[in-house]
Amino acid sequence: MIREVRVESGIVQGLAVQDPRITVFRGIPYAAPPIGPLRWRAPAPVKPWSGVLRAFDFAPSALQPITAESTFYGREWGVDDSAPMSEDCLYLNVWTPALGGSRETTRLRDGGPRPVMLWIHGGAYQCGSTSEKECDGEELARMGVVVVSVSYRLNVFGFFSHPDLSRQSASRPRPDRANFGLLDQSAALRWVRSNISRFGGDPDRVTLFGQSSGAASVLAHVCSPRDAGLFSRVIMQSGAGVGMFNHDLWSLGEAQATGRLFLDYLSVGSIDEARRLDARTLLEAACRFPASPYTHNHDEWSMPSNWSPCIDGVFLTDQYSETLSRGEGHRVDAIIGNTTHEFMAAGHDGAQVALGEQGNAELVRVWLRGGLPAPYCYSFAVAMPGDDSGAFHSCDLWFTFGTLQKSWRPFTGVHYDVSRAMVAYWTNFAASGDPNGVGRTHSSAPCWERHAGPSGDVLRIAEGISVTDLA
């Protein structure tokens, strides 16, 4: 069944999914293609289209290094390493339970505006896609929320900077000289603000949620003065809090010095000349480019060291921990958590430390120090069946989205019970700011209280769900 919605830029058609109450629109443009002279510029408005846009298929993923099907994550997500990619990548997808009828007779169902959940995928700011099967929004939409997932510029296309960009943008009201991937996400939030009511969503109840670098992106929006009022709740899954790559963002000068080295590496004399380079040539060079001597993020993989957010003075004005400690983060409700033993590394004394958990613990401390509402905290400890990988980074996505049936893993009834509880917690939070929901809609799961600190409740999500009082 085909359903139609008129957005600000034109008419889009979507398809009813297996559950005909849910309609999905794939590949809606939320900004102009960031190509040619728009490479390394803030996202520009979409040019309105005539006729009907058939939003039936996912748009190409952002240009990125190919994840081979034979790698751990390639196998986990069932990656198709021949799937299309393009620099023209500023598209989003919408799953909505709020539409009835078909084609020209499409209408909003009764029930009022639904809460909205906008998903930002992870991938170390270098890779990732909204088409990955673990992040399908249908099951969340079945719980009464409108789900949006957004593609954004990655790696050198999203996080390059250069002194020429400062000079070229100096006369603009908001200079666009860095953090283009984050600016894309901000543009998607503004698209939601303007258009989501046409899909039955409530623009005043937007939950921004993400995992890994997607969660780090959510933190950036919480700290950005530009995004006030665009969302009211956040969920940060395995984003390392204010630790690891979020602990010490590099300055605009350091990012631009790296950009200057990169253009020298390309034997390119100017930004305008670099904008004329073939996109795949640019990507291949960015993959080979050695780690910058200016980086604060020393990783075995050079790309996250070179292409990551910086304090540009416009979108981000200070380190996350400083912004939050001063009480300058947006006052939003939050869920914060991680998989257990995430990002293990040797500490100062040689003992192994879970850097992901450590970073989230510090995030909770500065969050509370700044007077933001006490967050809900969790730890995900479900050991994955089918191999010995345990509760690895990102495995919780199957459970968050209720997509276990799409996985190769031999999940059983207890896993489905855990997933149903997580989906209920997450969607209840999106609806009301309370993961327990009105009337305790999943009363078999424990009541999850805010983490008031210095110690407080932590929801332990394992084969059984329980509450601890660990710090």
As a whole number, mean pLDDT of residues 395-406 equals 97
| pLDDT at 174 exceeding the cut of 50 | yes
Task: Please state, for a pLDDT cut of 70, what percent of the chain lies above it.
Answer: 98
As a whole number, mean pLDDT of residues 369-383 equals 96
pLDDT value at residue 161: 98
pLDDT value at residue 245: 86
Is the separation of the CB atoms in 128 and 64 below 8 Å? Answer: yes
Model confidence over 287-313: pLDDT tens digits? 999 999 998 877 788 999 999 999 999
Classify 101 in phi/psi space as left (phi over 0), alpha (psi -120 to 50) or beta: left
Q: Which two tokens stand for residue 95?
A: 């799953």
Model confidence over 334-347: pLDDT tens digits? 999 999 988 888 77
pLDDT value at residue 79: 77
Model confidence over 179-233: pLDDT tens digits? 999 999 999 999 999 999 999 999 999 999 999 999 999 999 999 999 999 999 9
pLDDT value at residue 429: 97
Model confidence over 102-121: pLDDT tens digits? 999 999 999 999 999 999 99
| pLDDT at 471 exceeding the cut of 60 | no
pLDDT value at residue 443: 58
* Local confidence band at 350 (pLDDT 50, 70, 90 cut-offs): confident
Model confidence over 60-78: pLDDT tens digits? 999 999 888 888 998 899 8
Q: Is 377 or 441 the better-scoring residue by pLDDT? A: 377
Closest CA to 103 of 206, 1, 240, 3: 3
pLDDT value at residue 439: 53
Is the separation of the CB atoms in 455 and 469 below 8 Å? Answer: yes
DSSP string, 243-312: SGGGTSPEEHHHHHHHHHHHHHHHT---HHHHHTS-HHHHHHHHHHSPPPTT-S---SSHHHHHSS-EE-
Model confidence over 406-453: pLDDT tens digits? 999 999 999 999 999 999 999 999 999 999 986 544 557 899 999 987
| Angle, CA of 450, 452 and 453, to the nearest 5° | 135
Q: Which two tokens stand for residue 455?
A: 């110690």
Largest CA distance in the chain: 67
Determine the Cα–Cα distance for residues 110 and 112; give it in Å rounded to an integer.
6
Is the separation of the CB atoms in 135 and 212 below 8 Å? Answer: no
Is the separation of the CB atoms in 311 and 185 below 8 Å? Answer: no
For β-strands 146-150 and 91-96, DSSP reports them as antiparallel
Half-sphere exposure of 370 (CA within 13 A, CB side): 23
Classify 440 in phi/psi space as left (phi over 0), alpha (psi -120 to 50) or beta: left
Q: Which two tokens stand for residue 32?
A: 């102009």
As a whole number, mean pLDDT of residues 255-266 equals 97
Model confidence over 126-148: pLDDT tens digits? 999 999 999 999 999 999 999 99
Q: Is 471 or 327 the better-scoring residue by pLDDT? A: 327
pLDDT value at residue 470: 59
As a whole number, mean pLDDT of residues 257-286 equals 97
Q: What domains appear along the chain, each with residue ranges and CATH number?
A: 2-246+310-468 (3.40.50.1820)
| pLDDT at 100 exceeding the cut of 50 | yes
pLDDT value at residue 404: 97
Model confidence over 153-170: pLDDT tens digits? 999 999 999 999 999 998
State which H helix or E strand residue 120 sits in: strand 114-120
Q: Is the pTM of this model over 0.85?
A: yes
pLDDT value at residue 157: 98
pLDDT value at residue 300: 80
